[in-house]
Structure 1
Amino acid sequence: MIEGPIDLERLDPAARATLSDLTRDVLLELLQPEWTRTAAVMDLAHRYFPDWSWPEASDTRVSERLITTLANAQANVHDYFAWVLLDFIRADAGLQDRLLERALTFVEAAGLLVVYQKIKSE
């Protein structure tokens, strides 16, 4: 169990595993609609997770664990997730506007106003 908020500057093995799981959860949420999964976007997903495969029965609703962990995380973790989302938003120029809208909807629904503001400003 992680003690205290996640901080990128002090990642122990448990926090590193949690951050990886949360990153995968964020991508599952962002890429839930089939239209998001173009070749360029999926190539980027494989760069983040070489073993990436779309689960057959995934629960892509924003999880309580994700919301709670990110809400309590240090600012550098918010920055990290803003950049992850921006990577995916920019992965396919043809989808950029739609992915931006999807990402902003996701972070707003998750109550992650800090991440929302970072994405919006980029």
Structure 2
Amino acid sequence: MFRNFLAPATAALALLVAPTAAYAHAKLVSSTPAANATATKVTKVELKFNEKLVASTVKTELVMTGMPGMTDHPPMKIPYTSAMGKDGKSMTLMLKRPLVPGTYKVKWSAAGADTHRMGSEFSFTVK
């Protein structure tokens, strides 16, 4: 009788202590231009994420934060159109015109499979 109880009890215990699959939060894994990079002739910004994003949750912003020779430059939003990649893990910000020399900040937020909105920002410089 003890053997008949042992097998189901062992199986139940294994289910309780087995690790469960955890969803990863969406995060940016690379960008072009890269964070803290200095670039020239920037006509688009490419973002690559660690997982497929829920397209309806994606928000991005591109802001010029500094211009050479101008102190206290107020943040200036840069116009662009955006498109999700076919893989759902990438996005391209297509600029209306090439970026002029200065410093820029990209902000993003989005949700992945776990539906938790994540976000971050990074800066780069155009010469």
Q: TM-score scaled by structure 2? A: 0.24
Higher strand share: 2
Higher helix share: 1
Q: Give the structure with higher Rg (CA).
A: 2
Q: TM-score scaled by structure 1? A: 0.25
